[in-house]
Structure 1
Amino acid sequence: MSEQNPQRASPLDTLRAVLRFLYRYAGRYWVSYLFGFAALFATNWAVVRIPTLVGEILNTLERAGVAEAELSTAVSAEMAAAIEPVSALALELMLWASALIVVRTLSRVLFFNPGRDIQYRLGVDLFAHLLTLQRPFYARRRVGELVSVAANDTQSVRLLVGFAGLQVCNVAVAIPLHLYQMLRTDWVLTLWCVAPVVLGGIYMRWTVQRFYTLIRSSLEKLAALSDRVLESFSGVGTIRAHVAEEAAVERFERYNRDYLDLQLDIASLRAFAMPALAFSGYVGTGLVLWVGGNRVLAGQLEVGDLATFTALLISLVSILTSLAWVLTAFSRGTVALSRVQELLDADPELPEVEHREPLASPPRVELRELSFTHEGREEPALQGISVVVEPGHTLGIFGRTGSGKTTLIDLLARVYTPPRGAVLVDGHDVRGWELEGLREGVAVVPQSPFLFSTTLRDNIRLLGEGAYTAKADAEVAGPRLALFRHRRRDAGGAASAPGAASGPDPRLERVIDSACLGPDVSALPEGLDTIVGERGVMLSGGQRQRTALARALYREPNLLLLDDVLSAVDQATEAKLVDAIRSLRGRAGSGPGGAPTTVIVSHRTSVLEHADEILVLDQGEVIERGTHAELLAKGGAYAAAHAHQREEAKADG
């Protein structure tokens, strides 16, 4: 099944998803729901009891009035005694009316509050699970769709377990109680009013199916609209540079119009469903008044019973009319739940864990005939690469665009899962290494680094400082997030709170100097506390790369992976950064176990001069290998590139 266009779930699959969700998330609130259901039952009992009391009062008054008209004034005192029960009935009526306010409010509180807690826990678990999914999953999914599910669908789930759950339980209780009391009052009238209500129910069955289809389509279109908005905002610079604002607005309007048209279809269906249900109820009311009135005149039915029956029927009609809103919330909630559950059930596509030890020292990295093909492609990105990088040594990767350099870095960082036995770290197959333990000791600086919309300080430290307690994990966070934090503690790390305040940080000052960020920090309006903006928009390309390099150095990793991190810096800065990277080998305190094992990718030969071995890639294959001096002596592609770059440097200088 393609995750880009997933197949639509069957009603049975939807039911299973709902039941599994209720067991997993709503089960812990069963006490609240139990008392809420009890309050809901009391509410409907009051709603049914009040019209019954009104009918009994009317019947008592009618009997007393008839008797008083037929008897002499000598027995009026006895008639007064006969209507004394009216006072008791009136008092009971007021008590039920007062109790109705309390139990109705209580039922809503007990149903709605768990819904908000469930939305919170579901959102946290969804976010935490998305962090475990690998790169291929995100290649198949649109970001806007994921945002829509996390924001809109979780809110629809809250309405499902709150408002819709309350109303479904209310209908399940109210209809039997109303019918029971109506049958007790007069079974003939009940049969007369049931026929049109049954017809309305048949119509609602078709409406439910139609609602479900439209709601699913609306959520899919909302996801497409969200993806369009996010894509446009991310590329707003390109849109403006090419004067494509009009085309962008036109595309957005087309997506927005499709969503609007579908919402109008849903509103039309709901708007027609409500009058249709109301009409069936009003037809039943008319039949009751006509048949019941004739029976009253014939002496077969008392006026109070007719009043009770009419009030019960009107109450029942209002409940049936509200079903249109309930169906919208229920349909939207079940569809949203199936979409959320689909993401929660997404397989991280990770092999079985065989090694759980953290990467505690600079490792020995070995590639054995490594070949790899990206999903959906036929041509391999890498073919038959074999190399050994001893602990603390540096491997350089050189090659033109598309030669597989970034893919190799991604495989070492476990962004992609390599073939079995192709990548070994300290003698262990990297496929079987637990990701948490492996990545604790790895720092990756990608070619296009990502910066968060926070301060420069927090972008470099990233994890911040501080700690959460296990109790807070259990009580506040979702189970997936709590698992993340406990794993970090077990690995000896701190479960950190980003943005926590701290005192002087010598390590931060050191990596800022190593990454040549000192002058840039001084030029920023608030120094390290400057907000760098969305994706680091406040910084230049070179500043973003050096910030990402400082982030990696701050971690003091045991395995350092650098993917063309000096492509956006000038030659003077490049020389300083190369010296900083080279100095890691002579700095015993650079990591927990000494100098890190380093793999550095670059299209500049000057960056790779200090590497212990350099691989030259072309179309995923190694065409040359050796040290910088050995490759220059061979006079191949590497030597040609080195000569060309030296000539360009002389021309620029």
Structure 2
Amino acid sequence: MKHLAALNKYFWKYRNRFFIGIFFVITSNYFAVLAPEVTGFIVGKVQQHLPGAKPVAHPKQYDAFLTVFINWVNSLTFAQIVTVCSITILILALIRGILMFFMRQTIIVMSRYIEFDQKNEVYQHYQKLDASFFKTHNTGDLMNRITEDVSRVRMYTGPAIMYLVNLVALIIFCLVNMLRTDKQLTLLVLAPLPLLALTIYIANTIINRKSEKVQALLSDLTTNAQESYSGIRVIKSFVQEKAMLGFFSKNSEDYRKNAVGLAKVEAVYFPSMTLMIGLSTLLTVFIGGKMAIADPSKISVIVEFVIYINMLTFPVSAIGWTASMIQRAAASQKRLNEFLQIEPGIQDAPHAVDAPVKGDIVFDKVSFTYDNTGIKALKDFSLTIKEGQRILIMGRTGSGKSTLAQLLLRFYDVDNGNISIGGRNVEAYTLQSLRTQVSYVPQDVFLFSDSVSNNIRFGLNEHADMPRVQQAAANASVDKEIQGLQNGYDTILGERGVTLSGGQKQRVSIARALIKDPQIMVFDDCLSAVDAKTENEIVGNLYRVLQNKTAIIITHRIFTGFKFDNIIILEEGKILEQGTHEQLLLLDGYYAELYRIQTSTGQSAA
């Protein structure tokens, strides 16, 4: 239950709806318990008009509101009393129905607002978390928490709260009226309640434990399905449908067993509630019947008590349902709190400012190790990139090329050393300022399930008109191919851009970066899926576009049509070779060997 305390801020935010809703719940139950009293009053009046009826020795005491009504009704004739009381019972039912409508319109609607806010909070927090977090957590689990867990929490903030307040209010009103009518009979018919409370406590403990397990297994199942859908082409190409189905079936079976186990506990739980209520009804009828035989004037009391017990049937039976919702919500909120309480490893420093990101880029004795793998990507790495220079960074897989780009954009922070731009440490810039003013084309291209034009516009925080979008696409040598699509720039791409080829996706990603027109651009092996002719065209366009801009191009291939100010060869996180194209050829090392291999295979641009 302590985990649900995180929701108190939402209850306070929507306190008007919350407290007004509680008022409607309490008021509706007040009018509900008036009906049994009015019914008992009518039965008593009927008894008084029967032949041989004895006067009531101790007239029942009513609350102030009903006392005024009874005093007025007593001044009428018997026929008028029956008519007025019958109409009054109907009016009370109508008033209660209206109040219940407003009760749902306040509390249930409030829960929807809380659900909306909570999903936004979780989503915004996910966006703040650093790259390391997403490397160690499955997408399916993240999706399950923001959907299934938030939905279960909503069942607490809406229905559970409403039914709980309804239950408490109705029990209090009924108990007060029952004690006022007959204390001994009240204590007898409510005797099963302690046993009911014990049953609830034991069952809730089991339900809470099983709910946490079920939610965790559901996350595993969602992750399994999400990975299968994303990698469906790989699965089909390796004919692994049967194997993946077996894996999914195993996870599904684990979920089924635990879900069925939880359902079995609840299957015992809810009938137990009904049994306790049934015992109370039987006690009322049995004991009340004996009392009525001894004193016929007690018949009105028995009628009133039976109505009270019937009124309590649903609320008391809903104890199990409400407790189950609360326990499930607590388990889900615990899972949400686990993430919401994680502080982003990468965030704005206290002194960070929004400032122009330009000037020389300096890597000063930078070392970095990936926490999740222990791989040391950079070792005492130092490099100065003058403003306006175009730098080519090459090296074998795992040499640390992509790490340089990710450290520059602060996807990670260095372990030792520092990185500065224009004499200011990158940590001195706000993340938004830094990443807004640096264009980055990642190695792993990602396109959204949106139109081609909107995927390119994504590079800008402001709206970009079509001429600007088309110009960026033209510079990336993809404009003609986009126009050849069925709906041109309005063509909706499939998930992760599956509609396009690998080379087309890379070029759309380049267009997205070019439309920002920043002073610093980083391209991380973004031409690996294009042919030599297209690559030459893109390189030519980039050479023109990148005039007077600082450009870092990371690749496995040599661009002969692009004159670089400096070429860096990395090996195990350190600079192996450095110089211009001509200088490195004279050095006759790794670069010269790679150049000879590429030119001998006829790759003019690579």
State the TM-score, normalizing by the size of structure 1.
0.86
Q: Which residue of 1 aligns with 2:512?
A: 551
User: Does the CA-based 8 Å contact 1:397-1:614 persist in structure 2?
Assistant: yes
State whether structure 2 residue 582 is matched by structure 1 residue 621: no
Question: What pairs up with 1:447-596 in 2 under 5 angstroms?
Answer: 447-462=443-458, 494=462, 505-586=466-547, 595-596=548-549
Distance 1:268 1:182, change over 3 A: same
| Unpaired runs of at least 5, structure 1 | 1-13, 71-77, 465-492, 497-501, 587-594
Deviation at 1:506, TM superposition (A): 3.0
Query: Matches of 1:53 and 1:244 in 2, distance apart?
Result: 72
Question: What pairs up with 1:167-182 in 2 under 5 angstroms?
Answer: 167-182=163-178
State whether structure 2 residue 288 is matched by structure 1 residue 292: yes
Deviation at 1:68, TM superposition (A): 6.9
Secondary structure of 1:322 counterpart: helix
Distance 1:607 1:167, change over 3 A: farther
Q: Which residue of 1 aligns with 2:58?
A: none
Q: Which residue of 2 aligns with 1:388?
A: 384
Query: Quick one: which of 28, 37, 40 aligns to 1:43?
Result: 28
Deviation at 1:608, TM superposition (A): 8.7
The percentage of counterpart residues that share the same residue type is 27
Query: Matches of 1:352 and 1:552 in 2, distance apart?
Result: 23
1:255-298 CA distance string (max 9 Å, x none): 22222222222222222212111111211221222222111211
Question: What pairs up with 1:183-202 in 2 under 5 angstroms?
Answer: 183-202=179-198
User: Does the CA-based 8 Å contact 2:203-2:265 persist in structure 1?
Assistant: yes
Query: Quick one: which of 6, 24, 27 aligns to 2:12?
Result: 27
Query: Matches of 1:608 and 1:207 in 2, distance apart?
Result: 74
Distance 1:205 1:235, change over 3 A: same
State whether structure 2 residue 278 is matched by structure 1 residue 282: yes
State whether structure 2 residue 200 is matched by structure 1 residue 214: no
User: Does the CA-based 8 Å contact 1:358-1:441 persist in structure 2?
Assistant: no
Secondary structure of 1:267 counterpart: helix
AA of the residue aligned to 1:368:
D
Q: Which residue of 2 aligns with 1:612?
A: 565
Distance 1:87 1:582, change over 3 A: same
Deviation at 1:368, TM superposition (A): 0.4
User: Does the CA-based 8 Å contact 1:114-1:162 persist in structure 2?
Assistant: yes
Deviation at 1:379, TM superposition (A): 3.8
Distance 1:95 1:626, change over 3 A: same
Secondary structure of 2:382 counterpart: strand
1:513-565 CA distance string (max 9 Å, x none): 21111331232122111122111111111111111111111110121011011
Secondary structure of 1:566 counterpart: coil
1:434-467 CA distance string (max 9 Å, x none): 1011111011101121011111111111167xxx
Q: Which residue of 2 aligns with 1:636?
A: 589
Query: Matches of 1:301 and 1:254 in 2, distance apart?
Result: 67
Query: Matches of 1:26 and 1:79 in 2, distance apart?
Result: 48
Question: What pairs up with 1:137-286 in 2 under 5 angstroms?
Answer: 137-286=133-282
Q: Which moved more, 1:524-533 or 1:383-392?
A: 524-533
Question: What pairs up with 1:68-87 in 2 under 5 angstroms?
Answer: 81=77, 85-87=81-83
1:348-400 CA distance string (max 9 Å, x none): 11355255444535331000011100013334111111111111112211101
User: Does the CA-based 8 Å contact 2:560-2:604 persist in structure 1?
Assistant: no
Query: Matches of 2:604 and 2:6 in 1, distance apart?
Result: 68
Q: Which residue of 2 aligns with 1:60?
A: 45
User: Does the CA-based 8 Å contact 1:608-1:614 persist in structure 2?
Assistant: no
Q: Which residue of 2 aligns with 1:490?
A: none
Query: Quick one: which of 313, 323, 328 aligns to 1:327?
Result: 323
Query: Matches of 2:512 and 2:184 in 1, distance apart?
Result: 81
Distance 1:421 1:63, change over 3 A: same
Deviation at 1:94, TM superposition (A): 2.5
State whether structure 2 residue 349 is matched by structure 1 residue 353: yes
Query: Matches of 1:79 and 1:433 in 2, distance apart?
Result: 84
Distance 1:350 1:518, change over 3 A: closer
Q: Which residue of 2 aligns with 1:127?
A: 123
Query: Matches of 1:293 and 1:372 in 2, distance apart?
Result: 84
Deviation at 1:300, TM superposition (A): 8.0
Secondary structure of 1:600 counterpart: strand
Distance 1:135 1:312, change over 3 A: same
State whether structure 2 residue 335 is matched by structure 1 residue 339: yes
Count of matched residue positions in the alignment of Structure 1 and Structure 2: 588
Query: Matches of 1:267 and 1:369 in 2, distance apart?
Result: 60
Query: Matches of 1:608 and 1:617 in 2, distance apart?
Result: 22
1:96-146 CA distance string (max 9 Å, x none): 122111111211111111111111121122212211111001112110011
Distance 1:650 1:537, change over 3 A: closer
Secondary structure of 2:559 counterpart: helix
User: Does the CA-based 8 Å contact 2:390-2:564 persist in structure 1?
Assistant: yes
Q: Which moved more, 1:225-234 or 1:371-380?
A: 371-380
Q: Which residue of 2 aligns with 1:422?
A: 418
User: Does the CA-based 8 Å contact 2:145-2:336 persist in structure 1?
Assistant: yes
Query: Matches of 2:345 and 2:296 in 1, distance apart?
Result: 74
Secondary structure of 1:395 counterpart: strand
Q: Which residue of 1 aligns with 2:96?
A: 100
AA of the residue aligned to 1:153:
D
AA of the residue aligned to 2:397:
T
Query: Matches of 2:431 and 2:76 in 1, distance apart?
Result: 87
1:129-182 CA distance string (max 9 Å, x none): 211111001112110011111111121122211111101111221222221111
1:51-79 CA distance string (max 9 Å, x none): 11111111111122145799xxxxxxx99
AA of the residue aligned to 1:387:
L
1:298-338 CA distance string (max 9 Å, x none): 12861000111121122223321112221222222222222
Q: Which residue of 2 aligns with 1:401?
A: 397
Deviation at 1:606, TM superposition (A): 2.2
Q: Compute the RMSD of aligned alpha carbons.
A: 2.4
Distance 1:66 1:596, change over 3 A: farther
State the TM-score, normalizing by the size of structure 2.
0.92
AA of the residue aligned to 1:366:
V
Q: Which residue of 1 aligns with 2:64?
A: none
User: Does the CA-based 8 Å contact 2:532-2:603 persist in structure 1?
Assistant: no
1:590-612 CA distance string (max 9 Å, x none): xxxxx321111111122695221
State whether structure 2 residue 363 is matched by structure 1 residue 367: yes
User: Does the CA-based 8 Å contact 2:476-2:507 persist in structure 1?
Assistant: yes
Distance 1:609 1:383, change over 3 A: farther
User: Does the CA-based 8 Å contact 2:447-2:496 persist in structure 1?
Assistant: yes
User: Does the CA-based 8 Å contact 1:56-1:305 persist in structure 2?
Assistant: no
Secondary structure of 1:444 counterpart: strand
Query: Matches of 1:119 and 1:541 in 2, distance apart?
Result: 39
Secondary structure of 2:602 counterpart: helix
Superposed structure 1 runs of 4+ greater than 6 Å apart: 650-653
| Unpaired runs of at least 5, structure 2 | 56-73
